[in-house]
Amino acid sequence: MSATTVTPAALKGDTPISLRAHLRHTGALIRRNLLWIRQDPESMFDAILFPVIFTLLFVYVFGGSIGQSLGGGQDQYVQYVIPGLLAMMGMNMAQGVGTGFNTDFNSGVMDRFRSLPIGRGSVLFAKIAVELMRMMFATAVLLVVALLVGYDVHSWSGLLGAVGLSAVFGSALMWVFLTLGVVMKSAQSVQAMGFLVLMPLQFGSSIFAPTKSMPGWLQAFTDYNPLSALADCARGLMEGGAVARPLWVTLIWSVGLTAVMAPVAIHKFRTKS
Amino acid sequence: MTRIDDTPAGGSHAVTVRGLVKHYGETKALDGVDLDVRQGTVMGVLGPNGAGKTTLVRILSTLITPDAGEAVVAGYDVVRQPRQLRRVIGLTGQYASVDEKLPGWENLYLIGRLLDLPRKDARARADELLERFSLTEAAKRPASTYSGGMRRRLDLAASMIGRPAVLYLDEPTTGLDPRTRNEVWAEVKAMVGDGVTVLLTTQYMEEAEQLASELTVVDRGKVIAKGGIEELKARVGGRTLRVRPLDPLELRPLAGMLDELGITGLASTTVDDQTGTLLVPILSDEQLTAVVGAVTARGITLSAITTELPSLDEVFLSLTGHRASAPQDPTPADTREEVAV
């Protein structure tokens, strides 16, 4: 065929995108996602309501009786559950990221982004950065509520460490949910999927209650549930207790999930037609 | 046009496509398409829903990769040099691809930054394009509050930020009312005046005639005709002149007279009794003038006279012998009505 007319004169392969350009693109997209929040402040409701509702619900509904089994009362349960809720904050923001991204992805604007000379990860990195900001906001709300229901901060540095760990684990989960957001057809199915997967993981863990009183088969599950390690580690950091083992388990899960799911998410984002 | 000369290939074709194939399972969205678009011209790609128009645009804008074939745009290979190519193309999709939650200005600023313009330049470019597309007053409002026409104009402005050498307009006026459509056409004409090469897909012969200098007609993933607009119009029987005499009794004598004179197009003149009009096929402006002259000479008073382009369906009927249809793709009901009148 007329290959001579088709072949470009200078075929030098493709030019790579520099790190600075990557940061610039991600920054511009972060600005976009922050403007969304300004345009639609209601999207922050979950970040405010979730910590408030969960704290009040667990402390006042279950707190008395679980506290008794801990050998104290509601006060003792507050010290138990707040580190758990703090550890959960990252994953709760992660759950929403897939839903939002699915809606975003199905709008025409993604085609425009994908036809621009930007790194394919930029759109996803920006999304994660903004969700982490939302998580920090939700964590601040949680702390205020925690202090109001009588939580005693034993170690501020431990608390900061727990927040950091929650963010690390949360962003690892965000890659999972971003992948679901790209792959699944509707925002509703992403939400349903997130709920179905996270719900048993959250309650089948040491986040809300000690696992000692659970039946053996469930304990076997909770022992291997990364969310237990995450909650135990936060508790160790904030209240004292073993930290090393749960820290390693949480970090290994976080790094593993990110190493596997980040390339999958970016690949799916790049190739989705 | 000088912009294209900066790119490696130079040459006279801004878009060259050879044997492009894309299959989705059993569906052959593109089944060996060849296409050449000369620099600084507008190529219209005309076809019904499901003909493969959007697939072609998506391949040429690097959103999907072809199964076979080659395509070079502005000197860059769409498969092997996507990043370089993305710098020199602009895309306006079938559905306005602007961020509805962002204000108009922010939409343009964002694209500017993603195209590596320094902050100052991105700001200036956003201001400039809003001004040019008459959106300055709506600059701070979220795009979700815009009318359909404003959204398309913002979309066009967004695709112009990087001063593209080649612009893809994928059904730019589908779903717009006639007035808004004229607005968008005027903007596109102004952009072509700036020297950008345009690949336009459309379902409307009228749109192709307004904007394109050359036309490629596609159906079921294949090119079924190509050539200059006038040439293709002549092949499909040109235009139809609708004449309505004030006195309906004049209809038949007038039809007979025109047929006898033999100054009209290939088909014979037909009478539409319901509307009291005479449908006269014409191939050229000369024929149009001759018909009007003959009517005047006869002293017949007219109450209406209009010319119409053939519909997409008529174009298909005369080129392929079958109606424009999309057998494989599920076609939304609203657009199907427009196609199969």
Q: Which residues have a Cβ under 8 Å from the Cβ of B120 and sit 6 or more positions away?
A: none
Answer yes or no: do A31 and B110 touch at CB < 8 A: yes
Q: Give me the pLDDT at residue B280, please.
A: 83
The answer to the question of residue B340 being in a domain is no
Q: Which of B72, B81, B97 sits opposite A108 (nearest CB)?
A: B97
Do B258 and B141 share a structural domain? no
Q: Which of A39, A109, A115 sits opposite B142 (nearest CB)?
A: A39
ipTM confidence score: 0.84
The answer to the question of residue B226 being in a domain is yes
Measured CA to CA, the distance from residue A112 to residue B61 in angstroms comes to 9
Do B190 and B109 share a structural domain? yes
Answer yes or no: do A6 and B70 touch at CB < 8 A: yes
DSSP A151: P
Do B136 and B259 share a structural domain? no
Whether pLDDT at A254 is above 60 = yes
The answer to the question of residue B328 being in a domain is no
- What is the domain-level CATH number for residue B104? 3.40.50.300
Spans of all domains in chain A = 20-31+41-271
Whether pLDDT at A10 is above 60 = no
Q: Indicate if the alpha-carbon torsion angle A147, A153, A156, A158 is positive or negative.
A: negative
Residue B323, SS3? coil
pLDDT tens column, B2-41: 343 444 444 488 999 999 999 998 888 999 999 999 998 9
Listed range (A40-44, A116-120, B267-271, B281-285) with the worst mean pLDDT: B267-271
Q: Give me the pLDDT at residue B155, please.
A: 92
Measured CA to CA, the distance from residue A166 to residue A87 in angstroms comes to 5
Beta-strand relationship, B27-38 and B42-46: unpaired
Answer yes or no: do B97 and A114 touch at CB < 8 A: no
Per DSSP, the residues of A94-123 read HHHHHHHHHHHHTSTHHHHHHTSSS-TTHH
The answer to the question of residue B9 being in a domain is yes
Q: Which residues have a Cβ under 8 Å from the Cβ of B94 and sit 6 or more positions away?
A: A108, B54, B170, B171, B174
The angle subtended at Cα A125 by Cα B109 and Cα B125, nearest 5°, is 10
Longest Cα separation, chain B: 72
Chain A, 1 to 40: residues with Cβ < 8 Å from chain B are 1-3, 5-17, 21, 24-25, 27-29, 31-32, 35-36, 39-40
State the amino acid at position A2 in one-letter form: S
The single residue listed with the structure tokens 């402005």 is B157
Q: Which of B11, B13, B63 sits opposite A114 (nearest CB)?
A: B63
Q: Which residues have a Cβ under 8 Å from the Cβ of B20 and sit 6 or more positions away?
A: B30, B32, B33, B34, B35, B56, B59, B66, B68, B69, B70, B71
Measured CA to CA, the distance from residue A47 to residue A141 in angstroms comes to 8
What is the average per-residue pLDDT within A9-24? 74
Q: Are B167 and B191 in contact (CB under 8 A)?
A: yes
Nearest residue of B to residue A273 by CA position?
A: B64
Do B26 and B108 share a structural domain? yes
Answer yes or no: do B93 and A112 touch at CB < 8 A: yes
Listed range (A9-13, B42-46, B121-125) with the worst mean pLDDT: A9-13
Work out how many CB contacts closer than 8 A connect A with B: 121
Per DSSP, the residues of A126-143 read HHHHHHHHHHHHHHHHHH
Whether pLDDT at B203 is above 80 = yes
| Structural domain count, chain B | 2
**β partners of residue B42:** B198
User: Which range, A8-22, A145-159, B81-95, is most confident?
Assistant: A145-159
Q: How confident is the model at residue B135 (pLDDT cuts 50, 70, 90)?
A: very high
Do B107 and B224 share a structural domain? yes
pLDDT tens column, A152-203: 999 999 999 999 999 999 999 999 999 998 888 888 888 888 888 888 888 8
The answer to the question of residue B158 being in a domain is yes
Average pLDDT, chain A: 87
How far from the centroid of its chain's Cα atoms is residue B244's Cα?
Answer: 30
The angle subtended at Cα A267 by Cα A261 and Cα A270, nearest 5°, is 140
Answer yes or no: do A108 and B70 touch at CB < 8 A: no
Write down the H helix ranges in B65-103.
82-87
- Other CB atoms within a 10 A radius of the CB of residue B175 amount to 15
Helix/strand/coil (H/E/C) assignment for every residue in A202-268: HHCCCCCCCCCCCCHHHHHHHHHCHHHHHHHHHHHHHHCCCCHHHHHHHHHHHHHHHHHHHHHHHHH
Do B46 and B106 share a structural domain? yes
Do B245 and B228 share a structural domain? no
**Among the listed residues B69, B38, B74, the one whose alpha carbon sits nearest the alpha carbon of residue B52:** B69
Q: Give me the pLDDT at residue B326, please.
A: 43
Which of B216, B234, B252 is at the close of a domain? B234
Residue B247, SS3? coil
Measured CA to CA, the distance from residue B329 to residue B320 in angstroms comes to 19
Chain A, 125 to 164: residues with Cβ < 8 Å from chain B are none
Answer yes or no: do A1 and B95 touch at CB < 8 A: no
Distances (CA, A) of A254 to A199, B40, B238: 19, 53, 67
pLDDT tens column, A45-96: 888 898 999 999 999 998 888 888 888 888 889 999 999 999 988 888 888 8
When scoring B7, B116, B141, B174 by the number of chain A Cβ atoms within 10 A, the one with the most, hence best to mutate, is B116
Looking at beta carbons, which residues of chain A come within 8 Å of B98?
108-109, 112
The angle subtended at Cα B81 by Cα A258 and Cα B225, nearest 5°, is 120
Distances (CA, A) of B116 to A78, B62, B110, B122, B158: 50, 19, 10, 9, 14
Q: How confident is the model at residue A264 (pLDDT cuts 50, 70, 90)?
A: very high
Do B294 and B222 share a structural domain? no
Total count of residues recorded for chain B:
341
Q: Which of B58, B80, B87 sits opposite A11 (nearest CB)?
A: B80
Which of B234, B263, B281 is at the close of a domain? B234
Answer yes or no: do B100 and A111 touch at CB < 8 A: no
The single residue listed with the structure tokens 């949680």 is A142
Nearest CA to CA, how far is B122 from chain A (Å)? 11
Distances (CA, A) of B11 to A3, A101, B73, B195: 15, 42, 11, 15
Q: Give me the pLDDT at residue B2, please.
A: 37
Q: Which residues have a Cβ under 8 Å from the Cβ of B232 and sit 6 or more positions away?
A: B215, B217, B225, B226, B315
Q: Give the residue numbers spanning the domain of B287.
A: 239-308
- What is the domain-level CATH number for residue B279? 3.30.70.330
* Percentage with pLDDT > 90 across chain A: 48
Q: Which of A10, A14, A29 sits opposite B82 (nearest CB)?
A: A14
Measured CA to CA, the distance from residue A140 to residue B87 in angstroms comes to 42
Rg (alpha carbons) of chain B, rounded to whole number:
23
Residue A66, SS3? helix
The answer to the question of residue B319 being in a domain is no
Total count of residues recorded for chain A:
273
Whether pLDDT at B247 is above 60 = yes
**Among the listed residues B89, B200, B196, the one whose alpha carbon sits nearest the alpha carbon of residue B81:** B89
Do B212 and B153 share a structural domain? yes
Which of B193, B209, B234 is at the close of a domain? B234
Structure tokens at B61: 């804008």
Residue A97 — left, alpha, or beta (φ > 0 → left; ψ -120 to 50 → alpha)?
alpha
Beta-strand relationship, B197-202 and B239-245: unpaired
Q: How confident is the model at residue B264 (pLDDT cuts 50, 70, 90)?
A: low
